[in-house]
């Protein structure tokens, strides 16, 4: 069976030529589309992609200059700069061939053509088109991967029973393409689970793209996830692939999925079900192949019962669920994590801190850690920076411990930063991690709340 290559568009005002091309190519290519009127080119290219365009040079009777062909070549490259165009004409000479290549054409074929030569030209042109697309995709992915590699990465550490259960689930699920939903409080390490799934999957050599849905506004959602064309809106200065396209063949991690509004949930569900996206400003759907991992700190099942989260979307994203325990439920891991972070930050800040005193470990073990592993990391980092001794002592850790008395909160520390951190943690917990509601209760914008959460390592 002959392997068919590429989608071809043939444009010629001679119907006999188009018929001959269709007859020859239909058994060799995936699809052959023909146009006798070049005025239809813009509309066709606005809704469909082609690997190779065979373009006649002359559309006016008795014309031999090729000017019309060059004009349409320029128009095609304006519409789709990555187009691979092969001129096909009965009036060829060396001068026209050189001009064609300089103008952006890929090759030049004379009528009447030799079938084998035409097929060879089309085959090489299809390969050129695909190599161009792969090169563009690779550049974007390398840029994204570089951005990820530049971020500090924390190893996934733990030997408590609950964490060993999480590791076992990761081992089982990683080798599949099953969609995974990670549930857990803020700071428990949901992204680390997603990265562990990716590193141990068949997609490990492809890109891992992380998207914080809670920080994307409704107006930018489609542009960020699905991409946009140049001129699609005021600030769209150039075309941009969305996160789904960039992550294709790799893993897409959607964090804070519980914060999506119902309209955005619907758009996301459509993309997941169809396995394709349409850029803003385009009518052409682009196929995507992603391994989807989602995470949330909200109770999505409660949201489904309140009809604020789509049940069909939940079914799509939770083929497998992984529940991350809060740090206070994995006490055996606190000392392990503390010493792990100590090594990282002692090296980072070039400090000769060799260990953590047993009394300090005891203090850490008795703290509730509402900010979970992220808060512990922040506490160790601060202690390493501030200490002047080779061992971290209890006084190196300033931990805000709220307790109720007459309806008010009291603190072990009167440090304003620690108090602000505790209040933010409390309001986030009361609102089940919903950033919008927490920001409203605190009298802040979502952006301001995110800045404070980042400041405190929440």
Per residue in 37-48, pLDDT tens? 889 999 898 888
Dig out the tokens for 266 from the structure. Answer: 């619907």
More confident residue, 109 or 155: 109
Which range has the worst mean pLDDT, 103-112, 338-347, 389-398?
103-112
- Set out the domains of the chain in order of their start, with CATH numbers: 7-132 (3.40.50.2300), 152-323 (3.40.50.300), 327-398 (1.10.8.60), 400-458 (1.10.10.60)
For 173-231, write each residue's pLDDT tens digit.
Answer: 999 999 999 999 999 999 999 999 998 999 988 999 999 998 888 888 999 999 988 88
Confidence of residue 68 (pLDDT cuts 50, 70, 90): confident
**Residues making up the chain, counted from first to last:** 458
Residues near 133 by Cβ (< 8 Å), separated by ≥ 6? Answer: 82
Tokens of 207: 């890109």
Which candidate, 177, 199, 194, 174, places its Cα nearest to that of 275? 177
Question: Where is average pLDDT lowest: 224-233, 262-271, 303-312, 440-449?
Answer: 440-449
Omega cis (within 30) before 112: yes
From the list 39, 50, 36, the residue with the least C-alpha distance to 7 is: 50
pLDDT at residue 284, rounded to an integer: 87
Write phi, then psi, for 159 (nearest 5 degrees). -135, 15
Which one, of 117, 5, 1, 122, lies nearest residue 55 by Cα?
Answer: 122
- In whole angstroms, give the CA distance from residue 76 to residue 50: 11
Q: Which residue has the higher pLDDT, 448 or 20?
A: 20
pLDDT band at 62 (very low <50, low <70, confident <90, very high): very low
pLDDT confidence of residue 143: 61
Rounded distance between C-alpha atoms, residue 397 and residue 26, angstroms? 74
Instruction: Report residue 200 as tokens.
Output: 């141990």
Q: What is the pLDDT of residue 435?
A: 85
3-state secondary structure of 64: coil
Q: Which residues pair with 108 in a beta bridge?
A: 87
The string of pLDDT tens digits covering residues 242-254 is 999 999 999 999 9
Of the two residues 448 and 280, the one the predictor is more confident about is 280
310 vs 261: CA distance, rounded Å:
10
Phi, psi of 186 (to 5 degrees): -60, 135
Q: What is the three-class DSSP state of 369? A: coil
Q: Any idea what DSSP says for residue 295?
A: E
Confidence class for position 405, pLDDT limits 50, 70, 90: very low
**pLDDT band of 128, cuts 50, 70, 90:** confident
């Amino acid at each position: 069976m002959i392997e068919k290559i590429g989608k071809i568009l043939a444009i010629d005002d001679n119907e006999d030529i188009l018929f001959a091309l269709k007859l020859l190519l239909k058994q060799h290519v995936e699809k052959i589309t023909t146009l006798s009127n070049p005025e239809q080119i813009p509309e066709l290219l606005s809704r469909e992609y082609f690997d190779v365009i065979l373009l006649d040079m002359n559309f006016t009777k008795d014309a031999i200059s090729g000017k019309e062909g060059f004009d349409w070549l320029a128009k095609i490259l304006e519409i789709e700069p990555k187009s691979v165009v092969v001129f096909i004409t009965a009036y060829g000479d060396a001068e026209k061939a050189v001009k064609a290549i300089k103008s952006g054409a890929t090759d030049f074929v004379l009528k009447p053509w030799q079938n084998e030569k035409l097929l060879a030209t089309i085959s090489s042109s299809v390969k050129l088109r695909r190599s161009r697309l792969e090169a563009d995709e690779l550049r974007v992915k390398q840029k994204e991967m570089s951005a990820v590699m530049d971020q500090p990465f924390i190893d996934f550490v733990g030997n408590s029973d609950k964490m060993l259960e999480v590791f076992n689930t990761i081992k089982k699920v990683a080798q599949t393409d099953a969609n995974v939903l990670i549930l857990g409080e803020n700071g428990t390490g949901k992204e680390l689970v997603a990265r562990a799934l990716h590193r141990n999957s068949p997609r490990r050599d492809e890109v891992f793209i992380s998207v914080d849905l809670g920080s994307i506004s409704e107006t930018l959602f489609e542009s960020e996830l699905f991409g946009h064309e140049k001129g699609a809106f005021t600030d769209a200065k150039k075309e941009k692939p969305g996160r789904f396209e960039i992550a294709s063949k790799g893993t897409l991690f959607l964090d804070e999925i519980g914060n999506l509004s119902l309209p955005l949930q619907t758009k996301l569900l459509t993309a997941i079900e169809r396995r394709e996206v349409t850029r803003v400003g385009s009518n052409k759907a682009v196929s995507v192949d992603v391994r989807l991992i989602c995470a949330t700190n909200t109770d999505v099942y409660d949201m489904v019962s309140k009809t604020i989260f789509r049940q069909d979307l939940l079914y799509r994203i939770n083929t497998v669920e992984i529940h991350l325990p809060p740090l206070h439920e994995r006490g055996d891991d606190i000392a392990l994590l503390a010493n792990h972070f100590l090594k990282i930050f002692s090296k980072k800040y070039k400090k000769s801190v060799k260990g953590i005193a047993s009394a300090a470990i005891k203090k850490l073990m008795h703290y509730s850690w509402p900010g979970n592993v992220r808060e512990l990391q922040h506490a160790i980092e601060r202690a390493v920076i501030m200490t002047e001794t080779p061992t971290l002592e209890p006084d190196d850790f300033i931990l805000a411990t709220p307790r109720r008395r007459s309806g008010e909160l009291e603190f072990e520390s009167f440090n304003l930063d620690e108090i602000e951190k505790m209040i933010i943690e409390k309001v986030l917990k009361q609102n089940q991690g919903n950033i919008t509601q927490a920001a409203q209760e605190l009298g802040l914008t979502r952006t301001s709340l995110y800045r404070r959460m980042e400041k405190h390592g929440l």
